[in-house]
A and B are shown apart, each in its own frame.
Chain A
Amino acid sequence: MSEGYEPWLNREMRQANDFSAQQYFEARGFDQVDDNRFFNGTSTGDYMIWSQLLSGGSAVRKRFALALSEFFVVSLNDINLSWRGPAIGEYWDILNRNAFGSFRALIEEITLNPAMGVYLNTRGNRRADPRRGRVPDENFGREIMQLFSIGLFELNQDGSPRLNSGELIETYTNDDVTEIAKVFTGYDLDYSQTTFTPDPGNPSRTIASVDHVRRPMTADPSKWSRSLNDGFHATEEKQFLGLTIPAGTSAEESLRLALDHLVDHPNVGPFFARQMIQRLVTSNPSPGYISRVAAVFANNGRGQRGDLGSVFKAILLDEEALDPAKVADPSFGKLREPMLRFVQLARTFGVRSESGNFEVRNLSNPANQLGQSPLRSPSVFNFFRPGYFPTGSQSAANNLLAPEFQLVNETSVAGYVNFLERAVDTSAWFLRDLSLRYSAELPLAHDAAGLVEHLDLVLTANQLSASVKDTILSALEDIPVEQNSPDTDKLRRIHAGVVLVMASTDYLVQK
């Protein structure tokens, strides 16, 4: 690594996603109305995200986009509209496009995205109607504050809570929720360029073309599916978090003012920084680490707030992330998420999709699959909470957080090893579209020691302990392979080696 990390990172960050979700749907015909009735299901959404993660370039951008998808959560499990695949695909594309852009631009795009609109109910949300007892839906208003920007408590720049006579200080009250909820009224899907095709499975019905789940939602009622003259935005005064939006302000202007105000809140930097460090580097960053990243969030050195490219660079290039001594620090690192383990397995050993579609579905079942699937969080609170720790554990005794352990229990640890056994040779029925080539490993297979060294390097960055390496080596030596053995024998040894490395806790904890 003669050039150093930063020039490499700069180059990676400049690369756009060379094959976006939208391009994927177009290339695969998954956005066409035909006998397959792709508008109806969710499986093309799973195929899309696995294809994005398992193949193609701009892996650094995608890694950050995936981390963002665990902060700004939308789940394919619960987006109730047609074209769910392309809808979540557009959401994924937004995260990719903005991964190194501005936090402010990103939060506006996700707010108006149709998948988010149906997930947290901004779509079709209306101003109060006292005659019918109707009040604005509070869901997005609450979660944009609690989860997507400021969190529940006032924070210092180092992520620690600010205290008032020893008490936490709440960032907002329920009245703030009720008021900010008015900002997110009056939006619906934009059908202004949508065409309609008869449903091949039910000719009495027509299917709207896919564009309406990609275009941002609009407060202009002339563009809705049933076009109207007047919209449903709450035009009364809105007061929250010390901001007053005067009566009569338009939907667009209210949104701009509200998002500006949220993003300017001093909590956003430390709140976001801590969680991104947790997703990418370590579950327990020091206050100094959070503080340094939060400072870059506040000002990238060129006077810009919320420049995500600078924030992500600050996370990866921080002294705490790069310090080699941290590898031996017992409280450093994070448990690799199950989906990241699978992505690493597939990319490292040359995954191929027979169909070209990467037809892998929802792998969420912990008993007999991976126990996690991208864009399939069980709720907007992500697969695990940033403050989670396993009770009765050494982590708890040492006051350490271990968010990913929310997915770890007697069932999922066994399920993972069983998954691994059938993933390394892609013999599991749900991986039947995939194959792994092991082209770098096959020439090494007859040399058990060389194979172990190689797997240690590509899977753990040489972090296997000597005893684990010895244990794996003696096991692999028990599987006889000669230089001229057939590939099936060589693969057997390779498969066993990969399972053993990836089952080890030296691998499972990324340091």
Chain B
Amino acid sequence: MHISRELELSRRAFLRRSSQLAAMGAASSYALGLAGIGEAAAFSSSGGYKALVCVFLYGGNDHGNTLIPFDPTNYARYAAIRGGIDDQGGGIALPRSSLASTVLMPAGGQTVTDDITYALAPTMPRLKARFDQGSMAPILNVGPLLAPMTRAEYDNRSVPRPPKLFSHNDQQSTWQSSQPEGSQTGWGGRMGDLAQSSNTNAMFTAINATGNAVFLSGEQALPYQVSSSGAVLFRPLERGRLFRSGAATSALETILTTGSGNILAADYATINDRSIKFGSFVNDALENAAISTDFGDGNRLADQLKAVAGMIAARGSLGVTRQVFMVSMGGFDNHDGLIGRHEGLLAELDFALDAFYQATIELGVADQVTTFTASDFGRTLASNGDGSDHGWGGHHFVLGGSVNGGRFYGRAPHVSVDTPDQVGRGRLLPTTSVDEYSSTLALWFGVSPSDLPSIAPNIGRFASSDVGFLRSSTMHT
């Protein structure tokens, strides 16, 4: 199978558009307040403000203990595979009784594979409530694919596999950018490329509240980093004094923004410059945009999401109508000690996502903000004793006022380590591709169908670019 030529062509058209933006200085438009140079056909900013928030679960989430079969038949299969004894748990199986209060009953009596009834992990009561209210939906067995693939095609390699499956860094990159490590742009950044012309200040299109990652890098859009407490300012510059000397402060500012002929030095100076230029502006905007929602204390994901909520609250002062955010939490690579640690992580996730959704309600933008999870990969259903190993597909969540929630999307895998929907030890062969997931989000965000290949390069090989979990996906018209 060959990579289609038309993708290459659409890529080139896209690059051309990007360089037009560059020629007009879009990447450094902060000072100019540059606005509205986009192609109206390429991107719609109608419908007011919109934001996408990527919540990356680093390490590879154990989807098997995140969304657990609860009906007796499928629970028994789950327990047998994960080393549990009857309904009591054990091994890496959660006890069945612990799941009773987080069972998800889809509205309208939706049935899935083998009539599985799913429960959320017992530490996720808030997302269970959001599911019941219709603002949360699980998307089943999502993962990177170059094209739809059966188990036979996986085995005989008649359909290409995404490279470097099961490798943390490469699958993080593949989820974020469609390519393994070394990739230049991610789909969050590429949406930023299309969206930044809608924003007065292009700099605040792609906002990163966690460590550097390729997801938010576009051809033009650059991630702007904020800490959990907003922008970090250079204190000597703010104070106007370095060791009580104003002259030393001026010297510091000069030096920070001076790159020598060395390329690395020039790059460092550029980031210093960006940090100096935008920091106070951001913090002034945040100061006038208070939020009363409780984000708790000591939940690091909630802290990041609080900063995101702050940026959304300050959207008017920041001059933005479209934004893409990234936050993350780590600790999901539980080869050992899965039981205990994993439920704790999910409790943090549950609290943080719920608080963030509550904040969007407070800000009156719940319908305009969609939050979604991503992770390196799913994990094996099989147990290695007290943990699970690297897998491929996994279950994910979307949350927001525009989510057609309270039901499942995608195809539920059998609870099995030997059916053709997995490739061994219960490593799921994805049935919904990351491209389908990202396209659905992109259409809602305002990307035109013709531009989808620039976001999701493999989307042309899948039957639909809209999985259906968001309302008004076709708002771009």
Contacts and interface: CB of A to CB of B under 8 A. Distances in A.
Contacts of B259: 505
Contact of B227 (A334, A367, A476): A367
Contacts of A331: 263
Secondary structure type dominating chain B contacts: loop
A396 B267 CA distance: 10
A478 B247 contact: yes
Contact of B330 (A146, A332, A378, A504): A378
A506 B265 contact: yes
A228 B443 CA distance: 60
Contacts of A511: 262
Interface stretch (A130-138, A286-294, A301-309, A315-323): A130-138
Contacts, number: 258
Given A137-B336, A475-B250, A506 B245 contact: no
B243 A495 contact: yes
Interface in A90-124: 118, 120-121, 124
Interface in B257-299: 258-272, 274-276, 278-279
Contacts of B258: 465, 467-468, 471, 504-505
Given A333-B262, A500-B252, A134 B236 contact: no
B227 A391 contact: no
A121 B181 contact: no
Contact of B245 (A142, A391, A479): A479
B279 A410 contact: yes
A500 B247 CA distance: 11
A488 B258 CA distance: 30
A80 B246 CA distance: 49
A411 B256 contact: no
B264 A414 contact: no
B229 interface: yes
B265 A508 contact: yes
B380 to A, nearest CB: 8
B83 A134 contact: yes
Interface in A3-42: none
A175 to B, nearest CB: 9
B425 interface: yes
Given A135-B382, A379-B59, A479-B245, A417 B167 contact: no
A148 interface: no
A125 B251 contact: no
Contacts of A333: 262, 264
Contact of B251 (A168, A378, A500): A500
Interface stretch (A63-71, A204-212, A235-243, A397-405): A397-405
A381 B337 CA distance: 20
A413 interface: yes
Interface size on A, as a range, is: 35 or more
Interface string A496-508: 1001100111101
B228 interface: yes
Contact of B384 (A138, A381, A467, A506): A138
A499 B242 contact: yes
B101 interface: no
Given A138-B390, A394-B266, A402-B267, A492 B184 contact: no
Nearest to A143: B168
A410 B256 CA distance: 12
Given A80-B337, A138-B390, A177-B166, A410 B252 contact: no
A170 B228 CA distance: 40
Contact of B383 (A133, A465, A475): A133
Interface stretch (B209-217, B364-372, B450-458): B209-217
B247 A381 contact: no
Given A135-B425, A410-B278, A411-B226, A125 B184 contact: no
Given A133-B83, A138-B389, A474-B251, A330 B262 contact: yes
Given A410-B278, A410-B279, 18 more contacts: A80-B336, A135-B389, A139-B333, A170-B164, A335-B264, A367-B232, A379-B58, A392-B217, A395-B263, A405-B264, A407-B212, A409-B271, A412-B225, A413-B256, A418-B234, A468-B258, A493-B243, A509-B262
11 contacts: A132-B83, A133-B383, A137-B385, A177-B166, A411-B227, A414-B276, A476-B248, A499-B236, A505-B258, A505-B262, A509-B264
Top 7 closest pairs, chain A to chain B, by CB: A478-B247, A475-B251, A391-B217, A505-B265, A409-B225, A137-B384, A410-B275
